[in-house]
Amino acid sequence: MTTPQKNSGLVWDLPLRLFHWSLALCFAGAWLTAESEVWKLWHISFGYSMGLLVGFRLIWGVLGTRYARFSEFVKGPSAVKAYFLSHLRGQNGQAEQHVGHNPAGALAIIAILLTTIIIVVSGYLTYQEIGGDWLSEVHEVMASLLMAIVVLHIAAVVATSVLQKENLVRAMLTGKKKLTDGAAIQQSRPVLALLLLAALMAVWWGVFR
């Protein structure tokens, strides 16, 4: 039995890639500016931007291109178990592979989205002096939790890249992976990416004006 020929094809559309790297930069920026009154407006802007980005991702997870949709990669516990077992048992690159997000990556994405929502809401309420000191504690604890999730996510991406012999970081930059014929998406949606970028710029203008 011959192995199907794989060629480079588009998997991640441009709005999804912009979301991914923008969220990473905003979280890093919010983390670095968290303890300084001098950088307070920057911290707020990063936080609002994270809220906007997560809102976009929730919508794009329903209406987006094939591999951006939650229905494509969010699976039940049995699928997650099967994925991990395939890597424990797999040899010579025979472990279970996925064109889009794998079940482990799906867990990380859901955890990141839910944690970010809590961080943004608790941060906003704290900034508005609503809810008391306990919300500030929640904000800090969830930020630390998100950092831990991000570190685990990065480690998993590196490990998966080595095991599957495909650079997943580069794939999220270019949007392309090695695919069999017919598996690629057809449109990168650059106009929507520009609109998302404009919305982010509007957030920053609104805070600093």
Q: What pLDDT, in 10s, does the model give residues 102-156?
A: 888 899 999 999 999 999 999 999 999 898 889 999 999 999 999 999 999 999 9
Q: In this predicted model, which residue has the larger pLDDT, 77 or 169? A: 169
CA angle 55, 60, 61 (to 5 degrees): 100
Mean pLDDT, residues 189-205: 97
How far does CA 123 lie from the centroid of its chain?
A: 20
pLDDT at 133: 87
- Those residues whose C-beta lies under 8 Å from the C-beta of residue 176, and which sit 6 or more positions away, are 8, 9, 10, 11
SS3 (DSSP) at 186: coil
Q: What span, in angstroms and rounded, lies between the C-alpha atoms of 121 and 65?
A: 28
| 24: number of Cβ within 10 Å | 16
Q: What span, in angstroms and rounded, lies between the C-alpha atoms of 206 and 209?
A: 6
Q: In this predicted model, which residue has the larger pLDDT, 77 or 202? A: 202
**Does the CA dihedral 70-78-184-11 come out positive or negative?**
positive
The pLDDT-based confidence of 92 (bands split at 50, 70, 90) is very low
DSSP string, 65-113: -GGGSHHHH---HHHHHHHHHHHHH--TT-S---SS--HHHHHHHHHHH
Nearest partner of 10 among 167, 165, 172, judged by Cα: 172
Q: What span, in angstroms and rounded, lies between the C-alpha atoms of 97 and 3?
A: 14
DSSP 3: P
pLDDT at 96: 63
**pLDDT over threshold 90, residue 50:** yes
pLDDT at 38: 92
Strongest mean pLDDT among 47-61, 69-83, 167-181: 47-61
**Phi and psi torsions of 7, nearest 5°:** -125, 160
- Range of weakest confidence among 59-73, 86-100, 132-146, 149-163: 86-100
Whether the full predicted model's pTM is greater than 0.85, yes or no, is yes
Mean pLDDT, residues 47-56: 98
